[in-house]
Amino acid sequence: MNAMTRSQSRNWISYLMDTLVNSGAMPAWDAVEYLTSHLIGEAPNLNLHHSKSPYENIQQFLHRIYGPIVEAASRTVEIPPQAMIHMFTDISLMGKSAVLVVYFPGHNQPHQLLLLDSVPAWDLVFETSIAFNEWAEERFGWIVSALKTVCHQAEPAPLEHITALQLV
């Protein structure tokens, strides 16, 4: 990533912390500790590894990391009012977990997969906050790009509007 792109990149750790605090999930001091202990360091993530309930902790961790990225992407691209975006996780305690982001256009139209990310949750640790920001920015870009594609496809062409008016 070049210097120009890096300077335009968001500070995702700060954004995640704000999201955790503003949602009431945890106070600021806990959010800082949670994010730094779970995201920065060496793999494997011992917080997940030594957990008494690893399945729940991995699921919560992935939602806390990917959720704000998905939310930011959905605010970047204008989506129709009847549409919604949902994130699903398939947790694996032994291998890679999966994070799926799905676009539901509404009106019984087919759902669209925006992101399928294979995540080794135990190894989802970064050397520096810059490395995490680059990782998060990449996923944000993928979701925004996919959203632009599916939202553009969902918009009826002007000719379709005219045809619909003629039928009435």
Task: Read off the pLDDT band of 51 (50, 70, 90).
Answer: confident
> In this structure, is the dihedral angle defined by the CA atoms of residues 152, 80, 109 and 100, taken in order, positive or negative?
positive
Q: What's the pLDDT at 98? A: 97
Q: Average the pLDDT over each of 18-22, 26-30, 50-54 and give the range with the smallest value.
A: 50-54
- CATH class of the domain at 3-167: mainly alpha
Number of H helices, E strands in the chain: 7, 3
Give the whole-angstrom CA distance, residue 116 versus residue 64.
Answer: 17
Q: What is the DSSP letter of 48?
A: H
Average pLDDT over residues 26-33: 92
> pTM value?
0.83
